[in-house]
Amino acid sequence: MIYRPPLMMDYSVAGVNTKLSTIAEICYTISSNFVVTETLRTPSSKLLQADTPTNTDTVEGKEIQKKKREREKEMVLQLVMAPNWCGCGVASANSTKISTNAFKMSSNRFNFSKPYPGRAYRVTAYYSLTTPPYELDALEPYMSKRTVEIHWGKHHNEHVERLNKHLKTSAFYGHTLEEMVKATYNNGSPLVEFNDSSSVWSHDFFWESMQPNGGSMPKGGVLDQIKKDFGTFTNFKDEFTFAALSIFGPGWVWLYLKKNERKLAVAPTQNAISPLVWGDIPIIGLDMWEHAYYLDYKDDRSAYVNNFLDHLVSWHSVMVRMMRAEAFVNLGEPKIPVA
Amino acid sequence: MALRSVVSRKTLAPALRHYRSLTTFTLPDLPYDYGALEPAISGEIMRLHHQKHHQTYVTNYNKALEQLDAAVSKGDAKGVVQLQSALKFNGGGHVNHSIFWQNLKPVSEGGGEPPHGALGWAIDKDFGSLEALVKKINSEGAALQGSGWVWLALDKEQKILKVETTPNQDPLVTKGVSLVPLLGVDVWEHAYYLQYKNVRPDYLTNIWKVINWKYASEVYEKESA
């Protein structure tokens, strides 16, 4: 009897976004009568094969059996000890044989997901909820702890869980989040994974767009760029606020860098859309869905936006994002500082 | 006499130019107190929903209508088309909420009482039972991503009841010209967030206690006649 492993058993999960923490569970297909033979590199290789038991009546047979056991123990230990066993190029051997005995011997160490003997498993790596870079009450009084708790712990979390549910059967499994957002937007006819993947990305971006004691003015190059593209800093704030309040229904407002024109701009978007879908680089994202402000501001959206700009927005994040954007957009000759 | 003809000419001219006056809309009053729908919907939510959100839709709708009037008289085609989204959003918001206030009734005045008569039979025919209809509306409402409305609609042409959803403030007619709204449930977050937070399904379960089936029956009987 040959068992064919499911297609998703690709250990080279190179597409996983290393910025996010991943939960990877490795389990092996085992069965009391079969030996698992898989390569760590290519999924299309060896299948589960029946193990012809070695005849241990002869001395030779005993030797072979002993060697088999030794090798299996070694392989299992190697697997277990391998630092990056999620598969990113580690493959310590071309093939790994694990018999049930070897498995049992190392079952204490190899118990990543409490395996039930005889049950089939597969490797899957999913996204998990990233944590805001500050404590949940750090944004008080402009964003209450209650809002952050519910917005992050319930809404953002729900999107992550729904995304993972989609990924179980999606062709986009293994993509980075940014790739997935762009691909599932499908030029305006979004696929089912778009909403959740874009929401997860946008919310990660949102928490990092804020900091305790944020707001006030940016400095240096960021301020110069804003002045160049908006005239004055106040103009930028006015444009940002106007865009935020102009959204009909749920949406986001973004400060983003236009790649082609090499300038900053402000744009509102509907539902979960972000500048990623049209290929530009987001620099600030503000969630204008009602759940983001209703508990603190009720219907007073302008107070919410003003407080965000004056007290919450993290210009440090903006600077880092602009620096990263320089890798993709030629913002000019680098200024090498003279000591 | 000469003076009077001058005066009358002056008054005639503006009358000829603005022979069509612009109808503006006002916020309808609620037929019950803000706190009358407790504990299904809190008084605070009702007050904000009515005095702030619905009022904003009315105000902005009137503004958009004035701008539309100006654009139409000037013959500004681009301006007219540009105003369409504001008209749909704010006008739809006004229309939808006006229906919504009629769809709710305090328990003491009959809210939550299941429908009898023609509507009751139609529900049984088209959905199997009232429970099945409620379950369908709740699941569609919970599954709606973003903001929008869930409707129990009568399709006048096909003479059948349907459950529809519309995004944002799109009125029901955007889903079909022959659709008549019998019941609408607002699933925008402002409709439940202060009380139910992110748990929209709880809001949907509880709102049935204050749904005004009598109004829905009246509309049904009138439109299916």
The model's pLDDT over B164-221, given as tens digits with 9 standing for 90+, comes to: 999 999 999 999 999 999 999 999 999 999 999 999 999 999 999 999 999 999 999 9
Nearest to A295 among B145, B167, B194 (CB): B194
CA distance B225 to B221: 6
The model's confidence at residue A78, banded by pLDDT at 50, 70 and 90, is low
Distances (CA, A) of B40 to A214, B44, B73, B98, B107: 39, 12, 47, 19, 10
Q: Are the C-beta atoms of residues B140 and B71 closer than 8 Å to each other?
A: no
DSSP at A337: P
**DSSP SS3 for A295:** helix
Instruction: Identify whether A141 is preceded by a cis peptide bond (ω within 30 of 0).
Output: yes
Radius of gyration of chain A (CA): 26
Among A90-99, A122-131, A163-172, the minimum mean pLDDT is found in: A90-99
CA distance A194 to A163: 9
ipTM, two decimals, is 0.87
pLDDT tens per residue across span A9-44? 333 333 333 333 333 333 333 332 333 333 333 333
Q: Quick one: pLDDT at residue B19?
A: 55
Is B29 annotated to bind ligand?
Answer: no
**What's the average model confidence in pLDDT over B107-124?**
95
Q: CA of A250, closest CA in chain B: separation in Å?
A: 6
**DSSP SS3 for B220:** helix
**Mutation to test the B interface, candidates A290, A293, A295, A304, most B Cβ within 10 Å:** A290
As given in the structure block, the two tokens for residue A62 are 């005993």
pLDDT tens per residue across span A278-316? 999 999 999 999 999 999 999 999 999 999 999 999 999
DSSP at A292: G
Q: Are the C-beta atoms of residues A176 and A17 closer than 8 Å to each other?
A: yes
pLDDT tens per residue across span A196-226? 999 999 999 999 999 999 999 999 889 999 9
The model's confidence at residue A109, banded by pLDDT at 50, 70 and 90, is low
Q: Who wins on pLDDT, A73 or B204?
A: B204
Average predicted confidence (pLDDT) for chain A: 78
Cα-flanking dihedrals φ and ψ of residue B42, to 5°?
A: -70, 155
Q: Quick one: pLDDT at residue A327?
A: 86
Is B97 annotated to bind ligand?
Answer: yes
Give pTM, 2 decimals: 0.75
Nearest to A299 among B52, B89, B145 (CB): B52
Residues of A in contact with B86 (CB under 8 A): 248
Among A61-70, A173-182, B64-73, the minimum mean pLDDT is found in: A61-70
Distances (CA, A) of A140 to A136, A143, A316, A317, B132: 9, 5, 19, 19, 45
**CB B53 to CB A299 under 8 A?**
yes
Among A10-14, A106-110, A205-209, B12-16, the minimum mean pLDDT is found in: A10-14
CA distance B166 to B181: 12
Q: Quick one: pLDDT at residue A330?
A: 85
Closest CA to B144 of B194, B180, B189, B92: B189
CA distance B91 to A322: 41
> Does A2 have pLDDT greater than 70?
no
Beta strands in B43-106 (DSSP E): none
Query: In this complex, how many residue pairs, one in chain A and one in chain B, have their CB atoms less than 8 Å apart?
Result: 48
Residues of B in contact with A299 (CB under 8 A): 48, 52-53, 56, 190
> Does A108 have pLDDT greater than 80?
no
**Mutation to test the B interface, candidates A157, A193, A199, A294, most B Cβ within 10 Å:** A294
CA distance A171 to A199: 19
Cα-flanking dihedrals φ and ψ of residue A58, to 5°?
A: -85, 160
The model's confidence at residue A57, banded by pLDDT at 50, 70 and 90, is confident
> Does B30 have pLDDT greater than 70?
yes
Amino acid present at A30? I
**DSSP SS3 for A219:** coil
**CB B190 to CB A294 under 8 A?**
yes
**What's the average model confidence in pLDDT over B133-149?**
96
Q: Is B142 on the interface with A (CB under 8 A)?
A: no
Residues of A in contact with B167 (CB under 8 A): 249
DSSP at A16: S
**CB A155 to CB B198 under 8 A?**
yes
CA distance A148 to A131: 11
Distances (CA, A) of B13 to B18, B22, B175: 9, 18, 44
Radius of gyration of chain B (CA): 21
Q: Quick one: pLDDT at residue A337?
A: 81
Residues of B in contact with A294 (CB under 8 A): 189-190, 193-194
pLDDT above 90 covers a percentage of chain A that reads 55
The model's confidence at residue A73, banded by pLDDT at 50, 70 and 90, is confident
Instruction: Identify whether A282 is preceded by a cis peptide bond (ω within 30 of 0).
Output: no
CA distance B189 to B218: 29
Average predicted confidence (pLDDT) for chain B: 92
Residues 6+ away with beta carbon under 8 Å from A270? A247, A248, A249, A250, A251
Q: Are the C-beta atoms of residues A173 and A13 closer than 8 Å to each other?
A: no
Q: Are the C-beta atoms of residues B129 and B172 closer than 8 Å to each other?
A: no
Q: Who wins on pLDDT, A13 or A147?
A: A147
Is B126 annotated to bind ligand?
Answer: no
Q: Domains in chain A, start-ordered, CATH in brackets?
A: 1-125 (no CATH), 137-339 (3.55.40.20)
Q: Quick one: pLDDT at residue A92?
A: 36
Cα-flanking dihedrals φ and ψ of residue B168, to 5°?
A: 50, -125
Chain center to CA of A183? 15
Q: Quick one: pLDDT at residue A110?
A: 58
